[in-house]
Amino acid sequence: MLLYGHMDRKFLIAANWKMNPPPAGFDAANSPYRAESAIDVVVFPSSVDLSHCIDAQLIVGGQTGRPEPSGAFTGDISITQLKKMGCRYVLCGHSERRKNHGETDEYVAQQAIAALEVGLHPIVCVGETEEERKKEKQNDVVKKQMKDLPSGVTIAYEPVWAIGTGKTATPKDAQQMHAFIRSLLPKDERASVRILYGGSMNAANAEDLLKQEDIDGGLIGGAALKLEEFRGIVEVAESPLP
């Protein structure tokens, strides 16, 4: 039993900086973005900042990656290239990629498989839109998004209506979905796979979310761009659970 997580699942707090520059002080000695603690901290900078963050000794991942190792894909970056640079993680199927770049469930599964093949940890994002939740379709949507995923991925449940909106799923609703996601995993993986919550997580709501037994960390956008706010979240995750 770990103090800083549920069962044997250590909390993972991930900063998704999206298409923004790293916050000032991200590479300072006491940076909250550097994983020097009982929990895992990972940063997802935009591609142009990856090397700088790796040089600053952060644990880093790509925000997306193509499954093909190389080829005629102007403007893209491959999972193989991410691995060669020194990345350790890759986000697969963030809702902004699904929406703006047409990433399908099938493509997302291919990304996750390619990542596992080269030794990157895939964090696969799933989650329903507001419309889908209104129609109570959230379980069907997430089930479909997870259908073809390989074993060995981390999941991030990010309800689309909660991303960047300031609206957070209630801890109870989030827990319910996380438990449902866990029930979809193969039996032998249920106890070990980490399921992160994403969608307007901040220093003030982190404790109530992380207390839920199936929430194993956070994928954080807006609040991860504010260094002290992000430190607050990391500190919550580093405190023994009440």
Q: Are 39 and 13 in contact (CB under 8 A)?
A: yes
Active site residue 158: yes
Mark 50-79 as b/e (b = at least 16 C-beta within 10 Å).
beebbebebbbbbbbbbbeeeeeeeeebbb
The answer to whether residue 158 forms part of the interface with ligand PGA (CB under 6 A) is yes
The answer to whether residue 221 forms part of the interface with ligand PGA (CB under 6 A) is yes
Among 163, 203, 215, 227, binds ligand PGA (CB under 6 A): 163
Among 124, 219, 227, 234, binds ligand PGA (CB under 6 A): 219
User: Phi, psi at residue 155, to the nearest 5°?
Assistant: -110, 140
Q: Are 73 and 66 in contact (CB under 8 A)?
A: yes
> Max alpha carbon distance in the chain (Å)?
52
Strands 217-220 and 121-126: unpaired
Which contiguous run of DSSP H or E holds residue 220?
strand 217-220
Which single residue is written with the structure tokens 């549920």?
Answer: 6
Task: Output 82 or 118, the one with its CB closest to ligand PGA.
Answer: 82
Q: Which two tokens stand for residue 115?
A: 């990542």
Among 68, 222, 238, 241, binds ligand PGA (CB under 6 A): 222
Binding mask 113-152 for ligand PGA (x = CB under 6 A): ----------------------------------------
Which single residue is written with the structure tokens 């603690």?
Answer: 37
* Size of interface with ligand PGA, in residues (CB under 6 A): 13
Task: Output 120 or 163, the one with its CB closest to ligand PGA.
Answer: 163
The answer to whether residue 200 forms part of the interface with ligand PGA (CB under 6 A) is yes
Which one of the spans 63-71, 116-124, 196-204, 209-217 is the region binding ligand PGA (CB under 6 A)?
Answer: 196-204
Q: How far apart are CA 224 and CA 226, in angstroms?
A: 5
Q: How far apart are the first and last CA of the chain?
A: 14
Least gap, CB of 191 to ligand PGA (angstroms): 25
Task: Output 217 or 221, the one with its CB closest to ligand PGA.
Answer: 221
Least gap, CB of 19 to ligand PGA (angstroms): 12
Active site residue 6: no
Beta-bridge partner residues of 14: 42, 219
Least gap, CB of 69 to ligand PGA (angstroms): 26
The answer to whether residue 12 forms part of the interface with ligand PGA (CB under 6 A) is no
Which residues in this chain contact ligand PGA in the complex, by CB under 6 A?
Answer: 16, 158, 163-164, 198-201, 219-223
